[in-house]
Amino acid sequence: MAEYLIDEITEYVFNERRLTPTRDWAEAIAISLVSLFSHPAKVLTKKGFIRLNLWYIFIGPSSLASKKFHWISSI
């Protein structure tokens, strides 16, 4: 079992389900899911609170920017 949840989801999305063409894109999906379920956690800095939401865009050939990552919508 992966030590961290981000690693575990990355492995699942990339190696087991093969939903993404690269590990980096699988990791982005994993980070995004952890971020989504971490709400309302936030970080307090001297400049105020930082929320933990993130936006990602993958740029690749059409055959690889596959719609498989829509898996998120199905869970």
Partner 1 sequence: MRHKEETGEKLTLPFHATSEAMIEHLSRDNKIGVIVKDEATTILKNARKQYGADYYEMMSKLYDGSYYERRTRKAGLEIVPSDTYVNMIAATTPYIYKVLEEEFFTQGLGNRILYVLWNGETEDSEGIFDVDIKNYDSKDADILNKLRTLREKCENVRTTIPLKESESTLTKWRDKISRIVEKFYNEGKLIEQSYYGRMWEMLVKLAALHSIARWYNNPKANVAFVIEEKDTQWAIDKTIKYIKNFHRLLEEWRGATIKTDAKLESSEKLHETIIATIRENGGRITKRELLAKRNMTKNKISAHIETLVEMEKITLVSIPWGSHFKTEIFLDPDEAEKYMTEMKQKYPNKLVFIPTSEMIRKGQW
Write out the two tokens for 14. Answer: 């990339």
- In total, the chain counts a number of residues equal to 75
Binding of partner 1 at residue 70 (CB under 8 A)? yes
- The C-alpha atoms of residue 20 and residue 33 are separated, in whole angstroms, by 15
Binding of partner 1 at residue 11 (CB under 8 A)? no
Binding of partner 1 at residue 44 (CB under 8 A)? yes
Binding of partner 1 at residue 41 (CB under 8 A)? yes
- The C-alpha atoms of residue 47 and residue 66 are separated, in whole angstroms, by 39
Binding of partner 1 at residue 65 (CB under 8 A)? yes
Q: Which residues lie near partner 1 (CB under 8 A)?
A: 3-9, 12, 14-25, 28-29, 31-46, 49-75
